[in-house]
Amino acid sequence: MYLAFKLIHVIAVIIFLGNIAVGVFWKAWADRTNNAAIIAHTMEGIIKADRIFTIPGVLLIVIGGVGAAFAADLPILRTGWILWGIVLFVLAGIAFGPLSRSQRNLLALAKAGDLDAYHAASNQWNIFGTIALVLPFIAAAIMILKPLLPAFP
């Protein structure tokens, strides 16, 4: 059972991290065009990809990770690398709320052709997007390297 849960977890992490990294790339690529139609099309794609890959990826990451921990008899809160991986993953999830709202706002501004407002609002997306991108990558590194980190006794 452990290997099945671990496989689900690892594949979900690959899809999740790949999607958020590619989303950042495509937004930057579209923004360089300064073309409202291209930017709107790209933002629609990013939002759609989040629904198809990111949100289900989160569910599968949790199911696979918790399942693997239980199958391996690893205490989640007493194993530092698991605990801190989860903490970083949760913090990234908290950043996803404002990021998601920002994406919908950016899409509306791009569809309206208001690129000045779009570029001004884009800074919020960049901040929360960076948090939502960097923290899961650090969490993945912690899960792979399994450093000795503090945990609950």
Q: How far is CA 49 from CA 33, 115, 117, 143, in A?
A: 21, 23, 24, 25
Give the angle 45-49-50 at the CA atoms, nearest 5°: 120
In the block, which residue shows the tokens 């199911």? 63
pLDDT band at 36 (very low <50, low <70, confident <90, very high): very high
What's the pLDDT at 132? 93
| Residue 121: band (very low, low, confident or very high) from pLDDT cuts 50, 70, 90 | very high
Measured over the CA atoms of residue 149, residue 144, residue 87 and residue 132, the dihedral's sign is positive
Domain boundaries, given as residue ranges, for the chain? 2-145
HSE, CB side, 13 Å, CA atoms: give it for residue 22.
Answer: 15
Q: What is the mean pLDDT of the chain?
A: 97
- Residue 16 makes CB contacts below 8 A (sequence gap 6+) with 53, 54, 57, 58, 61, 136
Q: Are 16 and 58 in contact (CB under 8 A)?
A: yes
